[in-house]
Amino acid sequence: MSDFNELAERYIATWNETDPAARRAGIEAVYTADATYTDPLVVAEGHDAIDATIAAVQAQFPGLVFRLGGGVDAHHDIARFTWELGPQDGEALVVGFDVAVRAEEGRIKAVHGFLDKVPAGA
């Protein structure tokens, strides 16, 4: 997993996985055990908290999917990328960007998320 493009795609896939067992397996493959995910709304530390965060977002936005909003910009062990959340073939309702820090073994050890577009009441 040395390629950040592949890692970002796998990261997005964990946010789209609705089967709890498959989502957890994806989280364990993409994140280190002590990984953190932080955005303006949540701080999640470790696989359990990251899994719960993803499940909560899926419950809040049922049927919507995450997708990369462009290319992945990376250097050293840090990458940034824009993502979108919306209907499969429709306009994004939520837009943000994440900065991911990769551990030496190739998994994500930290994500710093930013929200650029959020619907009212979300």
Rounded Cα distance, 102 and 91, in Å: 30
SS3 for 24? helix
- Residue 122 reports pLDDT greater than 70: no
| Dihedral angle sign, alpha carbons of residues 7, 10, 16, 21 | negative
- Residue type (1 letter), 43: V
Residue 1 has pLDDT above 70, yes or no: no
Q: Cβ contacts of residue 90 below 8 Å, gap of 6+?
A: none
> How far apart are alpha carbons 76 and 100 in whole angstroms?
11
23-53 pLDDT, tens digit each: 999 999 999 999 999 999 999 999 999 999 9
If you average pLDDT over every residue of the chain, what do you get? 95
| Confidence (pTM) | 0.94
pLDDT in tens, 62-89: 999 999 999 999 999 999 999 999 999 9
Residue 78, strand partner residues: 75, 101
Burial class for 101, CB neighbours closer than 10 Å (0-12, 13-18, 19+)? middle
